[in-house]
């Protein structure tokens, strides 16, 4: 790992530790060793401690007091809570996008054009997963609501890190995406919002079965 330079040191250390979580260099349940992280990143313990405090505040690390700091283990219930929050927020974000005019998100509507069901090829499913993530994250981004974007950015990171695969197969979710897009193209914000909420809540329910 390349040692962190001194420019914007606190932010760089914070981003590097988040990357370690994303890359599975730090696994859920791992104990966080501030001294080892500082040595690994080639910095003092002060910016590492700043990053740890920030990650505790964001819910990615847990402070177990006398037992130390640990990478948080997210349960299925935690993930359900995230999907429920995401359903409501993203539904509103899509409604805002539609109210501004579909040209704001027209390029998003075309993301799924190359996919058909049934989908069986593993490479195609992996490509679909990336498009799926982009579609949902960009709905929030294109809404133009900065508070909303800041509120969900940690949720997006958690979903990327802790659910590398798809909860539901593209054969199930692609028709849902296409129905959401069709409602948006018809400039029917209420229908699009309800379909998007139902889409996320189906994943919420699937987590109950895991």
The domain locations on the chain are: 9-71, 76-208
Cα separation, 47 vs 156, in Å, equals 25
Nearest to 86 by CA among 168, 209, 204: 204
Sorting pLDDT into bands at 50, 70 and 90, what band is 155? confident
> What is the per-residue pLDDT for 104?
63
Q: Architecture of domain 76-208 in CATH?
A: Up-down Bundle (1.20)
pLDDT at 169 over 60: yes
What's the CA dihedral at 53, 57, 60, 64 to 10 degrees? 70
Other beta carbons within 10 Å of 19: 12
Q: What is the C-alpha to C-alpha distance for residues 35 and 197, in angstroms, rounded to an integer?
A: 44
Q: Which CATH number fits the domain 9-71, given the four candidates 1.10.260.40, 1.10.10.10, 3.40.50.980, 1.20.1440.80?
A: 1.10.10.10
Tell me the pLDDT band of 163, cut-offs 50, 70 and 90: low
Q: What's the token pair of residue 131?
A: 């498009």
pLDDT at 101: 72
**Per-residue pLDDT tens over the stretch 95-149:** 988 887 756 678 888 999 999 999 999 999 999 999 999 999 999 988 888 888 8
Mean pLDDT of 139-161: 85
């Amino acid at each position: 790992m390349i040692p962190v330079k001194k420019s914007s040191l606190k932010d760089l250390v914070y981003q590097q530790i988040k990357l370690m979580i994303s890359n599975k260099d730090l696994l859920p349940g791992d104990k966080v060793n501030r001294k080892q992280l500082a040595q690994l990143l080639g910095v003092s313990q002060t910016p590492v401690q700043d990053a740890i405090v920030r990650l505790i505040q964001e819910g990615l690390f847990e402070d177990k007091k006398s037992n130390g700091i640990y990478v948080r283990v997210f349960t299925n219930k935690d993930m359900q809570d995230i999907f429920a929050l995401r359903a409501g927020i993203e539904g509103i974000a899509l409604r805002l996008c539609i109210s501004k005019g579909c040209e704001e998100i027209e390029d998003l509507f075309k993301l799924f054009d190359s996919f058909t069901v049934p989908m069986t090829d593993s490479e195609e499913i992996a490509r679909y997963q990336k498009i799926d993530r982009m579609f949902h994250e960009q709905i929030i981004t294109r809404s133009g609501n900065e508070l909303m974007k800041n509120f969900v950015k940690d949720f997006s990171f958690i979903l990327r890190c802790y659910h590398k695969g798809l909860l539901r197969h593209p054969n199930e979710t692609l028709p849902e995406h296409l129905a959401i897009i069709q409602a948006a193209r018809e400039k029917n914000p209420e229908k699009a919002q309800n379909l998007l909420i139902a889409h996320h809540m189906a994943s919420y329910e699937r987590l109950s079965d895991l």
